[in-house]
Amino acid sequence: MTQPLLELHDVVAGYGPTTVLNGLSFTVAPQERLAVIGRNGAGKTTALRAVMGLADLTAGRIVFDGEDLAGLAPHVRAQRGLGLVPQTRDIFVSLTVEENLLAGCKRRPRSALDEAYALFPRLAQRRRNGGAQLSGGEQQMLSVARALLGQPRLLLLDEPLEGLAPLIRQELLHAFAAMSRSAGITVVIVEQQVQEALGYASRALVLERGAVVHAAPADELRDDAATLERLVGMAVH
């Protein structure tokens, strides 16, 4: 049996005195595409932040490729192969698209930018535009492309489709699928656009009060309107 790439064992985590995750446990297999869904405040973003070392871990274990991450700073986790695209996108608005991408290259040659432009041709057309001149969708593409240039083995996507037009959401999802296939990147996606996330993922978890309350193949959950309405609080057609 293949060893999981990521394991969370009874994780309790939060921020200062506030606990958000309450015994959260799940695993992610190599090259899997996992969707994490749930109501607002269920702990989805905190789960990603805990993996990156950006939330306070008070109990439990987080293991990446067999290594316990306890005590490792976020930048060290990134060096190990973890990448996070935060909900805030966090691009450098004062820099051009190309300068943003170069910042993500680390020690890789400038020619690595071709990978980003192949995945997002729109960025190639905007390479000399400043970050502040980009649309929300283009900023999201830039944030994802910059993270990918760091060659993560596991990419954590925090609500990458939020606030974007349907056409742009589909463009991003197609790029995520292409990157999973071509580079073998494992992806965990947290998303409120439930149907689109489930259409992209192979497996899904539903979180409630910082713990997993339901796990199923993504296509099975996508067709289970009653469960989605009960656990996510929305009627999905």
What does the block give as tokens for 72?
Answer: 């490792």
pLDDT at 155: 94
The residue type at 68: D
The arithmetic mean of pLDDT across residues 216-236, rounded, is: 88
Distance of alpha carbon 167 from its chain centroid, rounded?
A: 20
| Residue 165: HSE in the Cβ half-sphere, 13 Å Cα cutoff | 6
| pLDDT, tens digit, 9 for 90 and up, residues 68-101 | 999 999 999 999 999 999 988 788 889 999 999 9
The arithmetic mean of pLDDT across residues 132-140, rounded, is: 91
pLDDT at 1: 66
Q: Is the pLDDT of residue 22 over 50?
A: yes
Please tell me the total number of residues recorded for the chain in this structure.
237
The arithmetic mean of pLDDT across residues 95-115, rounded, is: 89
**How far is the C-alpha of 72 from the C-alpha of 129, rounded, in Å?**
36
| pLDDT, tens digit, 9 for 90 and up, residues 174-197 | 888 888 888 889 999 999 999 999
Structural domains of the chain, ranges and CATH numbers in brackets: 6-90+151-232 (3.40.50.300)
104 pLDDT tier (thresholds 50, 70, 90): confident
The arithmetic mean of pLDDT across residues 40-52, rounded, is: 96
pLDDT at 108: 85
**How far is the C-alpha of 70 from the C-alpha of 119, rounded, in Å?**
34
